[in-house]
Chain A
Amino acid sequence: MTSDLFTDYQRGDFFDEVFDPQGEIRPHYRPLVERLRALPPDELLRRARLRDTILRNLGITFAVYGEAQGIERTWPLDLIPRIIPADEWRHVERGLVQRVRALNCFLEDLYLGERAALRDGVIPIWLVQSSAGFCREAYGIPVPRGAHCVVAGIDVVRDACGTYRVLEDNLRTPSGVSYVLENRATLTRVLPLVFAQHRVRPVNHYGASLLSALRNLAPASASDPPRIVVLTPGIYNSAYFEHAFLARQMGIELVEGRDLVVDDHVVFMRTTRGLSRVDVIYRRVDDEFLDPAVFRSDSILGVPGLLAAARAGNVSLANAIGNGVADDKAVYAYVPALIRFYLGEEPILPNVETYLLWEPDQRAKALSRLHELVIKPVDASGGYGIVIGPKATEEELAAVRKAVEAKPRGYIAQEVVALSRHPTLLDDAQRDGCRVEGRHIDLRPFVLTGEKIEVIPGGLTRVALRKDSLVVNSSQGGGSKDTWVLAADENGESV
């Protein structure tokens, strides 16, 4: 009997996306696994090389901080897709829509309303006021239809029981959706027959949906159709590829700060035929760099007078200024309470169990179990600065203990979520072929707030490529998978 790709596969003690606890293949994965098993090993390698060629030709790259060359690396996409059945996705989708709706309400209330959640003690005032993301300059800047988070990336994981939990909200300039689209385009070319066996919900309408959401944001004084641009920091930004990609998908201009000018509180583009008015800006420049007249910065990435123009209601910004307070890791712990407060509903998607280290009891308990928990600084992003207790050295634990005791309001602790695992294809140099091993994954769905709140089916599944690693960020060596959400039939079952 010949062995196949999955013969030596170890499920381990984790929730496995493909294999259930009895080692049986979950029904929605059967056609895929059978197909993969049937492929001869060198065929798989050939497909992998085809994938590499396609990605290279499409120019899909990303930059990794700290790499000496400072050049772009080809995007690591695993051949084996992640599959989510229709009913599971429905649950996740409802939870995401609910969460983003509550976050939009919170931001509207905070910057433009009565701050009811603070007044009624739902979330401590000091937390908001001391949050690095709380932006006093956002106070009073109108946001059409309360769409503060036009694009939200809500990171979701599955714990050991298979429960979907929200790990983190990303409400400022979340990136990665271009990879979602390119992953799909690539995989349909590399595994066309497998793809055809499933009814996978499409994702390539993202550009149209985003454009529609941006149109929905147009100020009253805008022309019809409103003039929309994508504002990028420029070619040296690590996500530049995505900025250019999205501008192309939407058929709108990609501009840098220096291409725009504000005159009498109206924003214009500098063109060869003079100034051309802009109504909506999808800005991928961070708050602090957006307007040198307001924010303390000498950078030329922004547009002087942009905030005054937004205040005057002559231009709309997506995402709005000041969202950082809502994706603050400390505020994260209160989001379920915000859902209850603003929507009067129970949260559909739970958080990861989180301990607030500024509460003396929780801090004491957490410090006694430091080696079992994940400690996150409230102010970091991209996975940097996080200490994973079970993996940390004694020195690292001592250092973080000291840091927490010095500044308890700067940290939260969370249970280590045994992230679910998924069979992932690895090159096997010895056998001159491939083998399949389990790797931890997470999911970043993209949620758009337009006239309605819409979620793109699936999202970016990120894979921690290093064995046993839990760190999935691409900037730290992670990879990704195409994510297939199966269409439902009349019974709501996956097809």
Chain B
Amino acid sequence: MMLARHAEDLFWAGRYIERAEDTARLLDVTYHGLLESPLLNAESAWRELLELLNLDQVFGAKGVPITDSAVTEFLVLDPKNAGSIVRSVARARDNARNVRERISTELWEAINTLFLELRARDLRADLEREPYQLYRFVKSRCQTISGVSAETMSRDDGWRFLLLGRMLERAEMTCRLLSVRFGRSNQAAVPSDLHYWMAVLKSVSAFEAYLRAHRAQIEPQDVLEFLLLSREFPRSVLFSLRASETELVRLGAETTPTRPERLLGRLRADLEFMDVHEVVESGLPAALDALQQGILAVADAVERHFFRAAAPPELHVFESA
């Protein structure tokens, strides 16, 4: 049992760190994918990325054309973009600071250091000269944070909320990735280009793991199945959902499952027993969309069940004659 507010801070710290890392990873792959295959349409690649991150409208509102530098700056350092890496890290750091008494000094320092170092860099120059270094820096620091938290935090409720946040965010990100790469197009238009699918796998660091499972054959449906249903690869949707479920069960009551548990259990079961080929026949976009909505519903149920007690700060005072 812990303060609802602390649980909420840890949950969101987990989500924001994951978000920052996944954004860096996706940027890395998109950017280098374009470098390696100059025939690909850059604008549509960036547009797809923005859609994937659900930031296409926010970007559109800026009224600037889609170019390499505009999009990368938007996603990395734009303070007005709530989903930028800089903002995600800043928010994770605020969350962590609120629960500083609960997390280890090492974890606080890992998050705080990332925040301070990002702030100290000339990110615009980095993006111009060596984006690879920057993305690698962000990824590696986020992985450090992951490692430090795993090694220095007691497996108490605080830890569980931290992990739950990360896993749910990861599941949602991967789902979105699949939605954009697969779900938008109909069967016939799915690119058969090898490089395209390699990029998809690399964007979740799954390329090598996939090859070990499937050897050099890269079939779109196998990629889809791998990223959706692999029980072993830590970034697959199923893996993330199962990890989330484990923590949720431990956070719940002994007797009956909580509402988020029930929602997640059903979602995970539906996914686990999904026949990918059947789904592709009958309507992949709808299935992926439903999956994504399901994950959002679980996150919402977590908020309502555990944090609803944490009140909003809006206080009204009145007097009457």
Contacts and interface: CB of A to CB of B under 8 A. Distances in A.
Direct contact between the two chains A and B in their complex (CB within 8 A): yes
A304 B315 contact: yes
A272 B311 contact: no
Contacts of B100: 235, 244
A300 B101 CA distance: 21
Q: Is the interface of A mostly helix, strand, loop or mixed?
A: mixed
Interface stretch (B1-9, B25-33, B37-45, B226-234): B1-9
Nearest to B315: A300
Nearest to A299: B315
B310 A258 contact: yes
A276 B1 CA distance: 9
B313 interface: yes
B239 interface: no
A274 B305 CA distance: 9
Q: Which of A261, A271, A300 has the most chain B CB atoms closer than 10 A to its own CB?
A: A271
B309 interface: yes
Give the interface size bracket for B toward A: 20 to 34
Given A247-B101, A300-B315, A274 B309 contact: yes
Contacts of A259: 3-5, 310
Interface in A252-303: 253-256, 258-259, 261, 269-276, 292, 298, 300
Interface in A30-79: 59
A272 B1 contact: yes
B306 A258 contact: no
Nearest to B102: A254
A253 B2 CA distance: 9
Contact of A272 (B98, B105, B306, B315): B306
B3 A270 contact: yes
Given A269-B3, A271-B2, A272-B1, A254 B101 contact: yes
A295 to B, nearest CB: 10
Contacts of B7: 272
A259 to B, nearest CB: 5
A26 interface: no
Nearest to A297: B317
B315 A270 contact: no
A254 B100 CA distance: 11
B89 interface: no
B291 interface: no
Given A258-B310, A271-B309, A235 B3 contact: no
A479 B299 CA distance: 49
B157 interface: yes
Contacts of A271: 1-4, 309
B251 interface: yes
A292 B97 contact: no
Interface of B: 1-5, 7, 97-98, 100-101, 105, 157, 161, 251, 253, 306-307, 309-311, 313, 315, 317
14 contacts: A244-B100, A244-B101, A253-B3, A256-B5, A258-B5, A258-B310, A258-B311, A261-B309, A270-B310, A272-B2, A272-B7, A272-B306, A273-B1, A274-B309
